[in-house]
Structure 1
Amino acid sequence: MDSKGAVEAALYSASDKLSLSEIAEKTGIPVEEVRTAVMDLRREYEERDSAIQIAKIGTEYRMMLRPEYSECTGNFAKAELSGGVLRTLTTIAYYQPVMQAELLKLRGPRVYDDVHTLVEMDFVSKKRAGNTWELTTTKKFAEYFGIGSTKIKDIQAWIKSKSTNL
């Protein structure tokens, strides 16, 4: 088993992003060798214009689908979010920070269950604001959807690029 293959297998099988030291610890490969393997793999995926990328998120790495290929998977990937929950998430992401009371007016009473689900999934965080909650998206939201930024204007631009209804 070669180092690069082991690093690639670790990234592929991980459900979350990994640091170089985590990969090294779990594979028994020295950190510098892991770093070289990750850089080589990233370059190789880029050079062959693969639908898969090894994204750098802060100081960690994650194997994921390139955003431009996400539409191709709609018929194959099992949806983790129902349409209603996804619409609530999109509304929060686009208008953030948004008060739950305002979201209730926009989306109706189902918002309470939707927000609960989204907070449990760590896509949304909530902070007490008087008698309601202020809702914002999390870093995990941006990573999961491959947005590449947690800045509100970048998230809004990404949503606009995916939808003609906003």
Structure 2
Amino acid sequence: MKKKEGAAAIEAILFTMGDSVEISKLAEALEESIDEVKEQIEYLKEKYNKTDSGIGLLELENSYQLSTKKDFYPQLIKVASTPKKYVLTESLLETLSIIAYKQPVTKAEVERIRGVNSDHAVNRLVEFELVKELGRMDAPGRPILFGTTEEFLRSFGVRSVDDLPSVDIDHAEEFKKEAEQEIDVKLDI
């Protein structure tokens, strides 16, 4: 299949599916190698990166999805109903960051790190589709393992959890000292 024809087929598949599609599934559908599909995806990226296109191509780990460019969100919102918005409180963000960096992780591990019950926070993150059940741990009680979703990647603008900022141990120690100082000051008041 020629590059433009293959790219058009990929575009049609991604448009119709709406959600992301794994590159291996695209290759299977086009009966081509993954390398050939990658070339066609690069062609689509170039096509969509032009300023006269309102469509973008999201790469999410080994999957691709068509999306509206962020530049056109104000116009889109005038036509479409208001998208669901959720508020990520400090406790939800804290829980989400633990899950993102430690995944797969159990609720008990999250609670051990946070020092408080995390049932509500984990349940809300599942409800917001930022976190999902990945399976069960092979341990007594078979606790549920949690991890992040493609919605998490989309929401935070990263392709993969590997793209998350690394945790700097030196800064973590500084933050710990600052927190301890704040606690000491509050106790003196």
User: What TM-score do you get using the length of structure 2 for normalisation?
Assistant: 0.50
Q: 1:21–1:36: structure 2 CA closer, same or farther, 3 Å change rule? A: same
Q: Deviations over 1:79-132 (max 9, x none)?
A: 453x5xx12478724784496x689xxxxxxx95x9646414531358xxxxxx
Tell me which structure has the larger Cα radius of gyration: 2
Whole-Å separation in 2 of the counterparts to 1:121 and 1:15: 19
How far residue 141 of structure 1 moved from its aligned partner, in angstroms, is 3.0
Q: CA RMSD in A?
A: 3.9
Whether contact under 8 Å (2:55, 2:67) holds in the other structure is yes
For the residue of structure 2 that corresponds to 1:148, the secondary structure is coil
How far residue 74 of structure 1 moved from its aligned partner, in angstroms, is 2.1
Q: 1:76 aligns with which of 58, 79, 83?
A: 79
For the residue of structure 1 that corresponds to 2:79, the secondary structure is coil
How far residue 22 of structure 1 moved from its aligned partner, in angstroms, is 0.5
Whether contact under 8 Å (2:18, 2:66) holds in the other structure is no
Q: 1:10–1:29: structure 2 CA closer, same or farther, 3 Å change rule? A: same
Whole-Å separation in 1 of the counterparts to 2:71 and 2:91: 22
1:86-125 counterparts in 2 under 5 A?
86-88=86-88, 92-93=92-93, 96-97=97-98, 112=120, 116=123, 118-120=125-127, 122-124=129-131
Structure 2 unaligned residues grouped into runs of 5+? 99-109, 134-145, 167-189
Q: Which residue of 2 aligns with 1:46?
A: 49
Q: 1:30 aligns with which of 26, 29, 32?
A: 32
How many residue pairs align between the two structures?
132
How far residue 54 of structure 1 moved from its aligned partner, in angstroms, is 1.0
Whether contact under 8 Å (2:14, 2:21) holds in the other structure is yes
User: What TM-score do you get using the length of structure 1 for normalisation?
Assistant: 0.56
For the residue of structure 2 that corresponds to 1:75, the secondary structure is helix
Whole-Å separation in 2 of the counterparts to 1:70 and 1:44: 20
Whole-Å separation in 2 of the counterparts to 1:91 and 1:147: 21
For the residue of structure 2 that corresponds to 1:145, the secondary structure is helix
Identity over the aligned pairs, expressed in percent? 18
For the residue of structure 2 that corresponds to 1:44, the secondary structure is helix
